[in-house]
Structure 1
Amino acid sequence: MVRDILSDGYQAEFRVISNQPDRDMIYRFLVDIVQQWPPEAVLQEFKQLFIYYSPNAVNTNAVKALSDIIFANDEEEFKNTLKRSCYILINNWETTRSYKAIKELVLVFSDLNISKSTLSPSLSKLRLWLVNFIKSQDYQDLKIFAARYEEHEATHWSHRYTSYLLVPQYANLSNPVEQREAARALSQELKDRFKFELAMYTTRSQSAMPREILPKNPTGLGDEVLRLIKTIVAKRGPFSYTNLANIFLQQTQGLLYKNFKHSLQKYLIFSVENRKFVEVLKTKLEEKLDVVYENHHEETLDDALLLRTCNRVIEYLTTENHREPSPLFILLMSQGHPLTLVIVLLKILLICKNVRTHLETCIAELIKYYMHYPEEDCKWVVNFFEIFHITFAIYGENVQYNLIKMNGNGTKKLPNGTAQMYRVFSQLKLDSDIKAATSAIAEAMSDQVAED
Structure 2
Amino acid sequence: MDSWSHYYNRQTTVEEKKLYSHLYKCAEVESPDMLIERFRLLFIEGIEYYPSQILRTLGTIANSEFAQREFPFILNRSCYILINRWWQHPRLKSAIPKLIALFETYPVRVARSRTTKRLRELVRRFPQTQQYRALRHLAQVITQKQEQETPAGSKPLSTFLNRYPCLYEHCLLTQDSSYEQRQKIRLLRDQKQRQYELDLSRYITYQKLHNNSLYVKNPTLLSDRQLDLALKQFTGKIDGYNSYRDLAERFRTYSSLSPCYGAFKQEFYEYLTVAIDSKYIRGEFSQRLYKQLQTTLSQHEHEKLNRALLERTCKKILNFLVVESPQNPKHYVFSDLTSNLGTTPTIGILLKIVLLCRQVKNYLEQRFSILFNHYESHANDTINWLVESLENLNVALSTNFGKLTLCSFYI
Q: TM-score range by the shorter chain?
A: 0.7 to 0.9
Instruction: Go from structure 1 to structure 2 and tell me whether the alpha carbon gap of 1:325 and 1:198 turns closer, same or farther (over 3 Å shift).
Output: farther
In structure 2, the partner of 1:385 is 390
In structure 2, the partner of 1:32 is 25
Q: In structure 1, what is the Cα distance between the partners aligned to 2:291 and 2:251?
A: 22
Instruction: Go from structure 1 to structure 2 and tell me whether the alpha carbon gap of 1:368 and 1:164 turns closer, same or farther (over 3 Å shift).
Output: farther
The equivalent position to 1:70 in structure 2, one of 62, 65, 72, is 62
In structure 1, the partner of 2:366 is 361
Q: TM-score, normalised by structure 1?
A: 0.76
- Higher relative contact order, chain-length normalized (CA < 8 Å, sep 6+): 2
Secondary structure in 1 matching 2:107: helix
The equivalent position to 1:140 in structure 2, one of 133, 145, 167, is 133
The equivalent position to 2:246 in structure 1, one of 243, 246, 250, is 243
Q: Are 2:345 and 1:340 aligned?
A: yes
**Amino acid of the structure 2 residue aligned with 1:301:** L
Secondary structure in 1 matching 2:405: strand
**Amino acid of the structure 2 residue aligned with 1:63:** L
Q: Are 2:270 and 1:270 aligned?
A: no
Instruction: Go from structure 1 to structure 2 and tell me whether the alpha carbon gap of 1:100 and 1:317 turns closer, same or farther (over 3 Å shift).
Output: same
Question: For residues 105-120 of structure 1, what are the structure 2 equivalents within 5 Å?
Answer: 105-113=99-107, 117-120=110-113
Q: In structure 1, what is the Cα distance between the partners aligned to 2:341 and 2:243?
A: 23
The equivalent position to 2:318 in structure 1, one of 307, 310, 314, is 314
Preserved contact between residue 375 and residue 382 of structure 1 (Cα < 8 Å) = yes
The equivalent position to 1:198 in structure 2, one of 175, 197, 200, is 200
- The worse-fitting range, judged by mean Cα deviation, of 381-390 and 158-167 is 158-167
The equivalent position to 2:144 in structure 1, one of 141, 145, 150, is 150
Please report how far the alpha carbon of residue 320 of structure 1 lies from its aligned counterpart in structure 2 after TM superposition. Answer: 2.7
Unpaired runs of 5+ residues, structure 1, are 1-13, 405-410, 413-452
Unpaired runs of 5+ residues, structure 2, are 1-6
Q: Residues 291-323 of structure 1: CA distance to partner in whole angstroms, max 9, x if unpaired?
A: 111111222222111111110010100013444
Please report how far the alpha carbon of residue 191 of structure 1 lies from its aligned counterpart in structure 2 after TM superposition. Answer: 2.7
Preserved contact between residue 156 and residue 378 of structure 2 (Cα < 8 Å) = no
In structure 2, the partner of 1:168 is 170
The equivalent position to 1:288 in structure 2, one of 286, 292, 299, is 292
**Amino acid of the structure 2 residue aligned with 1:386:** E
The equivalent position to 1:331 in structure 2, one of 336, 344, 356, is 336
**Amino acid of the structure 2 residue aligned with 1:246:** E
Q: Residues 261-299 of structure 1: CA distance to partner in whole angstroms, max 9, x if unpaired?
A: 111111111222224324334311111111111111222
- The worse-fitting range, judged by mean Cα deviation, of 307-316 and 185-194 is 185-194
**Amino acid of the structure 2 residue aligned with 1:123:** T
Aligned residues: 389
Secondary structure in 2 matching 1:400: coil
Q: In structure 2, what is the Cα distance between the partners aligned to 1:169 and 1:21?
A: 32
Q: In structure 1, what is the Cα distance between the partners aligned to 2:8 and 2:106?
A: 37
Please report how far the alpha carbon of residue 228 of structure 1 lies from its aligned counterpart in structure 2 after TM superposition. Answer: 3.0
- Alpha-carbon RMSD: 3.0
Preserved contact between residue 134 and residue 172 of structure 2 (Cα < 8 Å) = no
**Amino acid of the structure 2 residue aligned with 1:32:** K
Secondary structure in 1 matching 2:340: coil
In structure 2, the partner of 1:42 is 35
Please report how far the alpha carbon of residue 21 of structure 1 lies from its aligned counterpart in structure 2 after TM superposition. Answer: 2.2
Q: In structure 2, what is the Cα distance between the partners aligned to 1:325 and 1:215?
A: 39
Instruction: Go from structure 1 to structure 2 and tell me whether the alpha carbon gap of 1:29 and 1:193 turns closer, same or farther (over 3 Å shift).
Output: farther
Please report how far the alpha carbon of residue 336 of structure 1 lies from its aligned counterpart in structure 2 after TM superposition. Answer: 3.9
Preserved contact between residue 254 and residue 300 of structure 1 (Cα < 8 Å) = no
**Amino acid of the structure 2 residue aligned with 1:27:** Y
Q: In structure 2, what is the Cα distance between the partners aligned to 1:263 and 1:133?
A: 48
Secondary structure in 2 matching 1:290: helix
**Amino acid of the structure 1 residue aligned with 2:267:** S
Q: Are 2:221 and 1:220 aligned?
A: yes
Same amino acid, percent of matched pairs: 24
Secondary structure in 1 matching 2:276: coil
The equivalent position to 2:255 in structure 1, one of 252, 255, 270, is 252
Instruction: Go from structure 1 to structure 2 and tell me whether the alpha carbon gap of 1:185 and 1:403 turns closer, same or farther (over 3 Å shift).
Output: closer
Instruction: Go from structure 1 to structure 2 and tell me whether the alpha carbon gap of 1:138 and 1:15 turns closer, same or farther (over 3 Å shift).
Output: closer
Q: Residues 327-373 of structure 1: CA distance to partner in whole angstroms, max 9, x if unpaired?
A: 32232222142111101111111111111221111111122233343
